[in-house]
Chain A
Amino acid sequence: MEKPLTALKDGDSGVITSIKENPGHGRGAGWGFQKRLMDMGLTPGTKVTVIKSAPFNGPVEVSVRGSRLALGRGMAERIFVAMDK
C-alpha cells in the first residue's frame, strides 16, 4: 500500500517508492528538490522511519541510512512509501 510519508505515524517505517514532482512547476524546480532529497539518501527503495512530526503541520523528522533529517511538510507529502505490513 502506497501512501505519502506524512500519513505515517511516529515510529512507522516504509520503503520509498517514488518522489512526485512539484505539481504545476517546470523541470527546474521539481528536479532540484528531487535531486536534493536523493543526495541526502532518500532514493527509491530506501527504508525511512518517521521519528516525529512538528505540531501545526510542521516538518517531519525522519531517520534514513543512519542519519536524521528534517523535511518540510510540503516535501514530505510528495514522498511516497510502501508500508512494511
Chain B
Amino acid sequence: MTKKKLSIALAGNANVGKSVIFNQLTGLHQHIGNWPGKTVEKAEGTLHFKGYEIDIIDLPGIYSLSTYSLEELVSREYIAVERPNLVINVLDASVLERNLFFTLQLTELETPMVIALNQVDIAKKKGIEIDCEKLSQTLGVPVIPTVAIKGIGVYKLLEVVLETIEKGELKPRQTTYGEEIEERIEKIASLVEKIGFKYPARWTAVKLLEGDEEVENEISKKEPNILPIVKKMADEIEKIHGHSCSTVMTSERYELAGRITREVQQIMPAAKPSMSQRLDDLTTHRVFGYLLMAVIVLSIFCAIFTFGGFASTLLSDAFYSWEPIFENIVGKGVMGELIWGGIEGIMAGVTVILPYIAPFYFLLYVLEDSGYLSRVAFLMDVAMHKIGLHGKAFIPTMLAYGCNVPACLGCRIMETQRERLLAAFVVTMIPCAATTVVVLGLVGTFVNIEWALTLYIVDLVIIFLLGRVAFKVLPGEPTELIMEMNEYRLPHLKTVVNQTWFRLEEFIKIAFPVIIVSSLVIKGMEVLGFMELLSVALSPITVGWLGLRPEMGIPLVFGILRKELTLIMLATLLKPAGLSVLTPVQMVVFTLVTMLYIPCVATIAACVKEFGWKKTLYITIFRIILAIFIGGVAFRILLFSKIL
C-alpha cells in the first residue's frame, strides 16, 4: 500500500519553540544535515498520520525573508521554489507584533499556511491575551494556540493542517501597502508575469522595489529592461516619503503588523516583574552578571573535567585490558599492530566523546534553550570586539576549551562567512581538553603549576594578538551584534537531548574516519621504521632551532592525531629513564609548540567541511610556521634569561 505523501515546512523567528514542535511531531524519525552546498542546517523528519506520509522540514529561525543571512536565503528559496504543501508558521504569542512581521512576508509568498500560536502560557504570564479567532479572520489562515513544550495543541495543529491541505488551495490574505506603492507593485508584477519567473510575480515585484540584490540579479538575467523601470519607481516612492523605498515598505509592513496586534491582543499590566525579568536583570547586571557567568562557566568546566577524567580512565582501562587477549588471537606481527592501531583510534574517539563532549554539549544546550547564552553573548560583546567579533562568538570559544571540532562547527552562529572564518581561526587555537592534559601532565607535573599557568596566559596573549591581526587583515567590515534577548524559560529535555545527539552524530561522522585513517598511516610508518628517518629529518628544527632532543620530533607527528598523544608517545620514547630526563626548558618549549603547532586531524577535517581545502591549508601551514618560530624564540629567551 502506498501512502499519500505530503511535505510541510515549519517557519518562524528564532526562539519561538519551532524545534520543540518539530520534535513533538516527528519523534525520533528525523535527521539533520546541511542544505546542499550551504553551511546551513537542514532538519528533516517524517510523520505518519491518517494514512499520510508527511515529510516535515524545520527551516532555520529567521526574522525576515530578505538576503541578510544564508538562513533567510535558504528558507525563501525552499518555500518559493520547492513549494511544500503547507507552511506552519510558528509564532511566539508573547512577541506577537515582531512575529507577525514575518508572517506577513510569508503570506506574500502565497503559500498555504497554518499558524501555531505558541507559548500562549508565557504570554499569559506577561498579561497578554490573544483572540485567535479574530487573528485567523484578519489573516485568512487557521490559527491554533499551542504550548508545544507540554504538547498542548500539537495534535489539533496537525489535524487542522491536514484539513487545510485536503480542502485545497487556500491562499492567505495579502498585505496591502499604500496606494502609491500598490499601483507600482501591480505594474511591475504584470511585467514579471510576462517573462515567467520562478517566484510569485507580486512577491518578486515587492522584492525588486525593496532592492533585493538576489532577485535583481536573477531578473536581469531573464529580462534586463525591468530593472531601470523599478529603479525609477523606487526613486519616485523615495521622493514622496523622504525615506528609501525599502524603508517605507518595511515600515508599512510593521505598521500593519502593529495594527493587527492591537486589534487581537489585550494586555493587562503584570502586577510584579516576572521571574524571567528578574533573572534577566540579575544575569546581565554589570557586576553580578559577570560574577555569575564566571561561576557558571567554571563550574561547568570543573564538572566536565572531573566527570570526564574519571569516566575516560575507566573506559580506557577497560579497553587496554583487552590488548593481551587481542595479541593472543591476532598475533604481534605487522598486521596485528596495524589493526590494533585502527581499533585504538576508534577507542580514543570514544573515550573523548562519551565522557567529555556529550555532557558538554548537553549542558550547553540546556543553557541555550533556557535563554542564558544570549545573556553571555551580551556580557562578552565588548571583549570579543577587540578581535573584531561580536558577543555571539564567545559561545564557540567556550566550546573550544572542551574540543575544537564542535567549536569550529559552532562558528556557524556568526552571520557572515567572514565572521565565521575569523571565529574559526581563533577558536581552533584555543587549548582543548587534550592539550590541557599535555600542559598539566608535562609542565604542571615536572616543572611546576605556575609555569603551566604561564604557558596558558602566553597562549591566550598570542591568540588575542593573532586574532587582532587577522581581523585587520581580512577584507570586509565587522558585523555588529543584533540579537534577540528572549524570555527565560525551562529547557525542553527532549529537544535538548535530540540536539546533543545530532551534534555527536555530526562529530562522529567528521572525526572518526580521519582519526582511523591517519592512525593507520602513522602506525604503518612506525612499523616500517620510517619514524627514525623522520626524527633525523626533523632534527635541524627540533634540535637545532628548538633545543629539543632528537626523538622529540616523533611525538609531535603523532600529536596531529590527537594532542594528548604527544605526551603519551614522549613517555614511551624516553623509557626507561622517563620524562624527567628532559630539562625544564625542553619541557616548556615542547609544550608551547604542542599548544600552537597544528589543529588536530579532526579539527582540520571540520575546517575543511566548513571552509574548504584552501583556507584550511593556509591556516594549518601558518600554524606550523608560527609554532616553530615562537618555540625557537621562547627557547632562546629561556636559555639566556636562565629563569628556569
Contact = CB atoms under 8 A, between A and B. Distances in A.
Contacts of A75: 480-482
A34 B35 CA distance: 27
Interface string A64-77: 01111111111100
Contact of A54 (B68, B98, B374, B382): B382
Contacts of A7: none
A41 B247 CA distance: 11
Given A54-B378, A66-B98, A70-B374, A43 B250 contact: yes
Contact of B251 (A45, A54, A66): A45
Contacts of B485: 61, 68-70
Interface in B369-385: 374, 377-379, 381-382, 385
A39 B378 contact: no
Interface in B106-141: none
A81 to B, nearest CB: 15
Contacts of B284: 52, 54, 61
A71 B254 contact: no
Nearest to A64: B98
Contacts of A68: 484-486
Contact of B95 (A45, A56, A61, A67): A67
Given A39-B101, A54-B286, A65-B98, A72 B390 contact: yes
A22 B482 contact: no
Nearest to B378: A70
Contact of B484 (A34, A58, A59, A67): A67
A39 B66 contact: yes
Determine the main DSSP class of A at the interface with B: mixed
Chain B interface size band reads 35 or more
B391 interface: yes
B592 interface: no
A16 to B, nearest CB: 10
Given A29-B477, A65-B254, A72 B381 contact: yes
Interface residues of A, number: 37
Contact of B483 (A43, A58, A69): A69
A85 interface: no
B250 A35 contact: yes
A56 B381 CA distance: 10
B96 A66 contact: yes
B481 A71 contact: yes
B97 interface: yes
Contacts of A40: 63, 98, 482, 484
A37 B254 CA distance: 12
Interface string B450-494: 000000000000000000000000000101111111100000000
A-B pairs, 10 with minimum CB distance: A72-B480, A39-B64, A72-B481, A43-B251, A68-B485, A75-B480, A38-B250, A58-B382, A67-B95, A55-B286
Interface of A: 22, 25, 29, 31-41, 43-46, 52, 54-59, 61, 65-75
